[in-house]
Amino acid sequence: MIIIDIETGPLPIEQLKLVGEKFVSPPHPGEFDPDSVRYGNTKDGEKRAMKLQAALDLHAAAVAKYESVVAVAETEHWTKVQSKAALSPLTGRVLAVGYLSTDSGKFILDVTIDANDPEEEQGLLTRFWDQVEKFRIQDRRIVGHNFFGFDLPFMAGRSWIHGVEVPSIFDSRGYPDGKLFRDTMKIWACGQNKYVSLDSLGVAMGVGAKPEGVSGAQFAELLESDRIAANAYLENDLRMTAAVAKRMGLK
């Protein structure tokens, strides 16, 4: 049995601005509208003049700070987009693929050195599908957690974007080859459409847990700051998936 897990990260912000959800500027205050001033029951001319001036001052202040408001809103928008970008092959990229053989216990990590180099991701994708074909020929089962919902569609999507050939592993409905692949999350759901994290299963079964304070969403930062820790994080995910699969009786 071969356990596979991938780690992803967001595309560079310049690319995200091309493919991500577009930023829409907040509306400009426009010209001041005297009719927008609410005087209530005030009849006193001096008080009405004060209300008008206060409204004028507020409008002028809104106009004066509009550009800074837009700048802040745009920064917040792209920060939010970037925080979710690694979840989609349209806005994310593959940073690493881990392979674990449950027969030998051998762990292999295929990781990009320069995440900003598209050729590195292309090479990683090509090698991945070569491995999948190799395991299919050897009649070895490939297992992952949420493999059908994330890993396989992400790898396929990035491959199609890069023009990397994807082998015939999906049927006419888009479902993965059930003989070649197994998904521990699907098996756990017993036919129901429910999400459960690998960490939750690992803890519940007593076979492992994610490192405290680290998640897949932070892998890109971890890979950049501490490659040894990033490698250990991925290896832990693989070994935890293997333990969960074994508990489920997969071989």
pLDDT tens per residue, range 183-240: 999 999 998 888 999 999 999 999 988 887 677 677 888 888 888 999 999 999 999 9
Tell me, what's the pLDDT at 4? 97
* Mean model confidence pLDDT for the chain: 91
Q: How confident is the model at residue 152 (pLDDT cuts 50, 70, 90)?
A: very high
Of the listed ranges 42-56, 61-75, 162-176, 237-251, the least confidently predicted one is 42-56
Residue positions counted in the chain: 251
pLDDT of residue 207: 93
Domains and CATH numbers, the chain: 2-17+90-247 (3.30.420.10), 21-83 (no CATH)
How confident is the model at residue 136, as a pLDDT? 93
Q: Output the pTM of the full model.
A: 0.86
User: Assign residue 58 a region: left if phi > 0, alpha if psi is -120 to 50, beta otherwise?
Assistant: alpha
Contact 4, 99 (CB under 8 A): yes
Give me the pLDDT at residue 180, please.
93
Contact criterion met (CB below 8 Å) for 141 and 76:
no
Q: What is the mean pLDDT of residues 33-42?
A: 84
Question: pLDDT by residue (tens digit) across 93-133?
Answer: 999 999 999 998 899 999 988 878 889 999 999 999 999 99
What pLDDT is recorded for position 108?
92
Stretch 150-177: mean pLDDT: 92
Predicted local distance difference test score (pLDDT) of residue 98? 96
Residue 218 has what pLDDT?
79
Smallest CA-to-CA distance from 85 within 18, 165, 146, 148 is with 18
